[in-house]
Structure 1
Amino acid sequence: MIKLFSVLIIISSLLVNSNGLGQSEITNEQIWASRTFGSNSIQSVNSMKDGIHFSLLKNNKIAQYSYEDFGVPTAIIVDLNEINYAGKEIKAQDYFFNKDESKVLIATEVKSIYRRSFTANYFIIDIASKSIVELTDKGPQSLADFSPDGTKVAYVLQNNIYYYDINSKKTVQVTADGMKNEIINGATDWVYEEEFAITKGFYWSSNSQQIAFYRFDESKVKEFSMDYYLGKAYPYRYDFKYPKAGEDNSKLSVWVYDMSKDKSRMYLQSNSEYEYFPRIKWTNQNALCVLAMNRHQNKLDYLLVEDYLTAKYQGASSNQKKIYSDESETYVEVDDNLIFLEKEDAFLRTSEKDGFMHIYKINFDGSVKALTAGKWDVVELKGVDEEKGLVYYVSAEEGAMYKTLYSVGLNGKNKKKLSILKGSNNADFSTGMKYYINYYSNSNQPTLITLHNAKGKQLKVLEDNKELTAKLLKMKLPQQEFIKIMGETDSLNAYILKPKSFDATKKYPVYFHIYNGPGSNMVKDSWAGSTYMYHQLLASKGYIVISVDTRGTMYRGAKFKKSTYLQLGKYETEDMIAAAKSVGKWEYVDADRIGVMGWSYGGYMTALCMTKGADQFKMGISVAPVTNWRWYDNIYTERFMRTPQENAAGYDDNSPINHIEKLKGKFLIIHGGADDNVHVQNTMELVQKMVAANIAFDMAIYPNKNHGIYGGKTRLHLFNKILEYTLENL
């Protein structure tokens, strides 16, 4: 999925340094290269099986803590400083317990692959004896995972699945045909990782006797290549499979490996009816459920697979039984808002079937009960306490820019608001839903982290960022405000940040910071860290900063979000042009000095604003943009546009590359040379068009940098360039 650029929130206890203390002036160096405005967080905690303790990895030790005491460890579970393997120190970067917490899996030497995937070297430690075993010495592994009974660890190595039997100390190879850029077993291909947000492609059955897994045959998928410049005479060329809009996907099949037979059997494969299997999941009754979707992504079927149907459904005539189907005239969302219940043949799922995203309890017999209702969207399903009959979720009931935690009964009754403060709330629950850690912020306040019991009662403040908050208050910064701006057809949510010494009798330039794509909102009441401080820097230079959520953005219902279907970019651009016209009429705005900046989908929108909306925008800064929808991946693009073969006009009418002759203002385009997501091809092809039309432009390419364009001093350099360009041209 095209993403708004990642804001670098620097987590550190060293909030204040001598550079900037007591100063009101803000610099890029403070924002992007120092910790002057870094906010504190707490280390991510892992709830333990009893639900009243959690564990943390700190100083190479895994310690146990009590939720209610929180700050003081009650026990050291494993001190890795006292354990070595063949004389080698074990430096843990992550860890995972087995079910009874008698063993722990340690991840070392972690190396990223793409946005979510990575390899590591894993070790198994027996906690009581402190004995240690290397999972394999055959090379870095991925996705290592204990079986539910804790006796085995499955993993992926060189595109094949293996498992290690802890008791027999034997390794069993489950698949043998894995090959780079050909066959993937147990992991996912690039487009599944990016667009369905999954990297893991194998799943233990609840009885630990089977492994369900994906097999991707990507041999017919076309390759894309990127060059890395490593200071050698010839660049390193990296080739990977990337299915662009309208192109062939991997041939996908779902298999189950049975340990008792030492054999695998295929149960489903992609075909004309089902192009995608975006999730596979074992139910708590040891039934295998596969979510199956067509290529248009407007129908999602829930299938129980033969041999793994519950007893109630045995004897189905085909090799699967459809227990539920979610359909839309546009597209159906795929996410992780899916929970199978333990005590009945049913699951919880969110759906937009009534026009807004709500929670439904769906029985395997197909009967459905809505647990939430109203003209607002559920944002995330957090979990269920079946003993108490309660479901916990975050919603936008208070408005599209707010996130609030609620509970509701499994019968759909007794809804209760748990959040204390209005703004952005998110909760991390303990096992059994006994406690939760709440992360709260608003647009002008750094994160406040508090501990609560399941009823919502606050037990302790874990982090209040009071030093950073005090520093910001001392600087007397202008406050970000929420406003409404009229778009082409709708009143749009927006925020505005005015200069500190704002004078309504003067004229100010306006800097629009935009995204506008499906799946993300810019206008939200939450702390934006480095982005917030950069906007304060712009305000200190005399700019008004505005962001607008156009049609196609989230949490205003399906009709608003899906109004851009088949025409990505068209209505968003119309709204941005209308917004610029509206803002240009304000008495304190210089209508001849309105600029726009965006990253990723926002970069795409910036290019459209500077072409289709050329008369309204003097300057545009487009970072990592799609310039032609035919060059982006098929799952994302076809979800909103169908294929280019079906919707050629929708693709071409809304791709900046076909409107470049309209460009008038100052235009800077920026891209990472190793962007595996939005390929630098997009920028290069647009540049060719501008050169052919003799149109002036400015460009910056960051070699070896991916879609996020970060690392070392890269962000500092990037935002120095963006700031200088803004000061010179707006």
Structure 2
Amino acid sequence: MRLIVIILLLLVQTFAFAQTKQMSLEDAVYGRYTYLYPESMSGLQWMDDEHFSFIEDKSIVAESAKSGEKSTVFSLNELNEITGANLQRIPSYRWIGQTDLLISDAKKYWLVDSNTKNVKYKIELPENADNASFSEEGQYVAFTQGHDLFVALANGTTKQITSDGGNGIVNGQTVHRNEFGISGGIFNSPKGNFVAFYRKDESMVKDYPLVDFMARQAELTPVKYPMAGMASHHVTLGVYNIESGVTTFLKTGEPLDHFLTNVAWSPDEKSIYMAELNREQNHMQLNCYDVVTGEKVKTLFEESSDTYVEPLYPVQFSKVNPGEFYYLSRLDGWFHVYKYNTDGKLVQQITKGEWEVTNILGFDAKEKTLFVEATLDDPLQNNIYKVDVKSGETERLSKEDGVHGGTLSPDAAYVLDRWSGTEVPGKVDLISSNGKNTRTIFASEDPLKDYQLGENKLVSLKTKDGKYDLFGRLILPNDFDPAKKYPVVVYVYGGPHSQLVTKGWQNQARWWQYYMASQGYIAFTLDNRGTNNRGRAFETAIHRNLGVLETEDQMQGIEYLLSLPYVDADRIGVHGWSYGGFMTLNLKLKHPEIFKVAAAGGPVVDWSMYEIMYGERYMDMPQENPEGYKNSDMTKYVENLDGKLMLIHGVQDATVVMQHSMKFLRECVKQNKQVDFFAYPIHEHNVRGKDRVHLMEKVSRYFFENL
């Protein structure tokens, strides 16, 4: 009996000890993306109407959605035997049809018949190939070498599509600095007969001098960086005919510095549909072009705004009626799904309301039911819904609160739902599309279960005018005592296309904030106007005056903090990077009486030195908005600098170039203002890898020593 009591006491002590493990800085920074990242299902995808597959124990495993029965499709050893490769792990793969498996590894592609276990064909790319794009119908891989475009065919031949790359000409790569939803520069046609591609001419854009200080003699490594109001690159779209070898460029006309985005093929390969946006970014045309002649056939519709129009999603053609397509747009102020015909006539607005559709998952076979991800129930969540196309009636399929992402089965009978919640590190649920059945097929263990963490809670505030809700996240120190006073570190970003506070795992907190809480600091974050998933009016309120309303909203958060009896009003600090660095300077310089310490990383100091596509969308050109640019220039507020401020910048930063920090430091010297500065050699806009631990130790110590 005594032995049992001793064992129980030891178990209790062990459990108590496990709950008091303190988060180290390495845990917070490196562990966040490695050993403290929740496990997930690798390679999860639909195989056919009934089965989905995933990687487990060095094998591709299939599971029946109906019965849950599992079977091994391919083991790693089998794949090595079939392909003759020496794979060390299951490589990237996807199903082509219901029996063919495409696997790719180290510039090699194999199409394997899962029934016969034979390789149908193999395509091997050169070592220096980039931007590879596989066409299942055409049995080829389009790719780039240097600045030219090629296509490797399953018959073993390779064709060169372009030969003018270099000296400012770039083919087959992303353009417009990845704005407007652009993520690549190659667009294979549905039947595999053509390759459409971007051709970028940036010869008119000035070379921006980046310096590599690691060479024996420092070397110039210039990049093309088009700054606001200056010359922008010119983009055209070429269409290469695989059989004839002929390339036709679409006649997109002038002005040459407009933006071409959201490229989509018609199902019959006769037309390309594309959103074209003017340099001012306030007028968009959805245009149709003839693939053979390159001529513009028609403009289907146009969208204009007194702020900006930002097309992000290509049209999706109906599989039931090829004369119709679906389009995701903020036409009424919120992202919703519209159906148009190919004459440009609006057939129907399918979803409506003051909420955002964030993704179209697909339709059932007759396209009577639409499946989407959306924020209908809560802007802090992303849930999965089915929508009756005729009536617009909407039903939520994801059961629990959190941030959900779905993959629809080919027959639309099931949805694979990957999600996390405030206290759920990660799950995958299988949901029947009738909404009646759900089963969990994977649940991650909590990698933070052994750590003592500060209380993490959501905060809801109002903008100063009472018009909008603002959402924040407050993390208290581990050993919080409401009778004590604690310093606060505000972590800020605040720019467009961001949302730092959600009902995902841990309310989307960064582990560094938990680390600071373990060191006796309150950690606070707020999403201000201009951020994502809140509708067009909320986002575009900052137009032409960046930093003004964002700062006002952040100060609403400060007002809330100051109302808490346990906040030390004399010890408030702020840290942010990129747009967050810009916001850190705004807060520190405009409210020096509040912010004692600030650490600004990669900060935008002067928007006239930022790139065209992003900068001009939110600020217009400097010559069009001189007052706005002046008011958002952080050097104009250096005279207010009081207390401790540190700037940090990557030496090779080609996003927010080092010139920003240099301009700010020069103004500090001119005004005899002391400021701290640290540069990270070889690093670009973000300090990555093991050096990131060094970065966050630098930031943390700055607060420890000064706040």
For normalisation by structure 2, the TM-score amounts to 0.88
Aligned counterpart, 2:6 = none
What SS class does the counterpart of residue 150 from structure 2 fall into?
A: strand
Query: Structure 1 residue aligned with 2:108, among 119, 122, 126?
Result: 122
Pairs within 5 Å for 1:180-195: 181-189=167-175, 191-193=176-178, 195=179
Instruction: Select which of 644, 669, 674 maps to 1:666.
Output: 644
User: Which position in structure 2 is the counterpart of 1:371?
Assistant: 350
How far apart are 1:133 and its partner, in Å?
4.2
Choose which of 197, 203, 207 in structure 2 pairs with 1:223.
Answer: 207
Query: Partner amino acid for 1:25?
Result: Q
Letter in 1 for 2:696: F
1:42 Cα offset (Å): 1.7
2:442 pairs, out of 463, 485, 488, with 463
Aligned partner of 2:25: which letter? N
Query: What CA deviation, in whole Å up to 9, does each residue of 1:242-269 have, x standing for no partner?
Result: 2221222221112222234321112233
Tell me the CA shift for residue 77 of structure 1.
Answer: 7.8
Kindly provide the CA deviation profile for residues 191-211 of structure 1, in whole angstroms up to 9, marking residues without a partner as x.
433x23434222222232222
Give the unaligned 5+ runs of structure 1. Answer: 1-16, 109-120, 310-315
The equivalent residue for 1:552 is 530
SS at match of 2:337: strand
2:677 to 699, 711, 715: 699
- Asked whether the 8 Å contact 1:185–1:214 carries over to 2, the reply is yes
Tell me how far apart the structure 2 counterparts of residues 662 and 76 of structure 1 sit (CA, whole Å). 65
Aligned to 1:206: 190
233 and 520 in structure 1: CA distance in 2 versus 1, 3 angstrom threshold: same
What is the distance in 1 between the residues matched to 2:441 and 2:231?
A: 50
* Cross-structure match for 1:334: 311
Please tell me the residue identity of whatever aligns with 2:248.
R
What is the alpha-carbon distance in structure 1 between the residues aligned to residue 23 and residue 448 of structure 2? 15
Which residue type is aligned with residue 522 of structure 2?
I
Q: Partner amino acid for 1:198? A: I
Does the CA-based 8 Å contact 2:488-2:524 persist in structure 1?
Answer: yes
Query: Which residue among 159, 173, 176 is the counterpart of 1:172?
Result: 159
> Residues 457 and 534 of structure 1: is their aligned pair in 2 closer, same or farther, counting only changes over 3 Å?
farther
1:631–1:433 distance in 2 versus 1, CA, 3 Å: farther
- Determine the C-alpha separation between the residues in 2 that align with 1:164 and 1:576: 53
1:100 offset after TM fit, Å? Answer: 7.1
Instruction: Provide closer, same or farther for how the CA distance between residues 337 and 402 of structure 1 changes in structure 2, counting only shifts above 3 A.
Output: farther
1:96, 1:140 → 2: CA distance? 23
Assess, with a 3 A threshold, how the Cα gap between structure 1 residues 569 and 152 changes in structure 2: closer, same or farther.
same
Compare 435-444 and 72-81 and name the one that shifted more: 72-81
CA pair 543-485 structure 1, distance change in 2 beyond 3 A: farther
**Aligned-partner SS, 1:515:** coil
1:695/1:373 Cα in 2 relative to 1: closer, same or farther (>3 Å)?
A: same
1:28 aligns with 2:6: no
- Asked if 1 retains the 8 angstrom alpha-carbon contact of 2:500 and 2:508, the reply is no
Q: 638, 642, 649: which is aligned to 2:616?
A: 638
| Separation in 2, partners of 1:542, 1:136 | 54
Distance 1:264 1:636, change over 3 A: same
Match for residue 10 of structure 2?
none
1:391 aligns with 2:387: no
Counterpart residue identity of residue 284, structure 2: L
Indicate how the Cα distance of structure 1 residues 322 and 683 shifts in structure 2: closer, same or farther if over 3 A, else same: same
**What is the Cα deviation at residue 62 of structure 1?**
5.3
Q: Which amino acid aligns with 2:154?
A: I
Mapped to 2, the partners of 1:447 and 1:88 lie a distance apart of 32
- Correspondences of 1:557-596 after superposition (within 5 Å): 557-596=535-574
Distance (Å, rounded) in 2 between the aligned partners of 1:594 and 1:691: 25
Instruction: Decide whether the 8 Å contact of 2:29 with 2:512 is kept in 1.
Output: no
Matched, 1:325 2:325: no
The aligned residue for residue 697 of structure 2 is: 720
- Take 2:459 and 2:37, find their aligned partners in 1: how far apart are those partners? 24
Query: Per the alignment, do residues 357 and 630 of structure 1 end up closer, same or farther by CA in structure 2, a change over 3 Å counting?
Result: same
Q: Is the 8 A contact 1:485 1:582 kept in 2?
A: no
SS of the aligned residue for 2:511 comes to helix
The Cα of 1:102 is off from its aligned counterpart by 4.1
One of 134, 140, 144 as aligned partner of 2:128:
140
Which piece of structure 1 moves more, 89-98 or 259-268? Answer: 89-98
CA distance in 2, matches of 1:721, 1:428: 41
**Deviations 1:408-466 (Å, cap 9, x if unpaired)?**
02224331111211222222333343432222223344223322233345543233233
Conserved? CA contact 1:213–1:255, under 8 Å = yes
Q: After superposition, where does 1:56-205 map in structure 2 within 5 Å? A: 56=54, 64-67=62-65, 72-76=70-74, 79-82=78-81, 93-95=91-93, 102=100, 104=102, 106-108=104-106, 121-125=107-111, 127=113, 128-130=117-119, 133-137=122-126, 139-167=127-155, 169-179=156-166, 181-189=167-175, 191-193=176-178, 195-205=179-189
Tell me how far apart the structure 2 counterparts of residues 200 and 142 of structure 1 sit (CA, whole Å).
Answer: 11
Picking from 269, 272, 293, the partner of 2:252 is: 269
- Quick one: which amino acid aligns to residue 537 of structure 1? Y
- Give the conservation status (yes or no) of the 8 Å contact 2:320–2:367: no
- Mapping of 1:477-556 within 5 angstroms? 477-484=454-461, 486-487=463-464, 490=467, 491-527=469-505, 531-556=509-534
**Offset, 1:73:** 4.0
- 1:680 maps to which of 652, 658, 661: 658
Does residue 243 of structure 1 match 2:236?
Answer: no
Structure 1 position 380 matched with structure 2 position 359: yes
Paired residue type of 1:171: T
CA contact (8 A) 2:52 2:62 kept: yes
Contact 1:65 1:75 in 2 (8 A): no
Checking the alignment, whether the CA contact within 8 Å between 2:112 and 2:120 is kept in structure 1 is yes
Which amino acid is the alignment partner of residue 102 of structure 2? V
Amino acid in the other structure paired with 2:702:
Y
**Distance in 2, Cα, partners of 1:248 & 1:648:** 18
8 A Cα contact 1:305 1:320, kept in partner? yes
State the Cα distance separating 1:294 from its structure 2 match.
0.9
Pair 141,62 (structure 1): closer, same or farther in 2 beyond 3 Å: farther
d(CA) in 2 for partners of 1:407, 1:422: 17
In structure 2, the residue matched to 1:113 is none
Distance 1:200 1:685 in 2: 34
Task: Say if 2:644 and 2:675, in contact at 8 Å, map to a contact too.
Answer: yes
- Report the CA distance between 1:143 and its aligned residue: 3.0
Aligned counterparts of 1:305 and 1:77: Cα–Cα separation in 2: 46
Amino acid at match of 2:684: N
Q: What is the correspondence of 1:436-447 to structure 2 with a 5 Å cutoff? A: 436-447=415-426
**In structure 2, do the counterparts of structure 1 residues 389 and 705 end up closer, same or farther at CA, with 3 Å as the change threshold?**
same
Secondary structure in structure 2 of the residue aligned to 1:448: strand
Q: Distance in 2 between matches of 1:412 and 1:496?
A: 41
**SS at structure 1 position matched to 2:514:** helix
The structural deviation recorded for 1:481 is 2.6
Q: Is the 8 A contact 2:530 2:541 kept in 1?
A: yes
Report whether the alignment pairs 1:354 with 2:338: no
Quick one: which of 249, 262, 268 aligns to 1:279? 262
Tell me the CA shift for residue 155 of structure 1: 2.2
The Cα shift of 1:130 comes to 3.5
Residues 1:280 and 1:612: Cα distance change in structure 2 (over 3 Å): same
Q: Using a 3 Å threshold, how does the CA distance of structure 1 residues 100 and 171 change in structure 2: closer, same or farther? A: farther
Deviates more, 1:517-526 or 1:149-158: 149-158
Q: Which residue of 2 aligns with 1:421?
A: 400
2:123–2:141 contact (8 Å) kept in structure 1? no
Answering whether residue 414 of structure 2 is matched by residue 435 of structure 1, we say yes
Supply the distance in 1 between the matched residues of 2:125 and 2:563 (Cα, whole angstroms). Answer: 67
8 Å contact from structure 2 (residues 422, 507) kept in 1: no
* Cα distance in 2, alignment partners of residues 36 and 255 from structure 1: 45
* Stretch deviating more after TM superposition (642-651 or 448-457): 448-457
Who is 1:45 aligned against? Answer: 44
1:275 positional shift: 0.2
Q: Does the CA contact (< 8 Å) of 1:627 and 1:656 recur in 2?
A: yes
2:454 touches 2:517 (CA, 8 Å); kept in 1? Answer: no
Deviations, residues 29-82 of structure 1 (Å, cap 9, x unaligned): 32234466332122132433x243344467876565545577844311874433
> How far apart, in 2, do the equivalents of 1:468 and 1:332 lie?
42
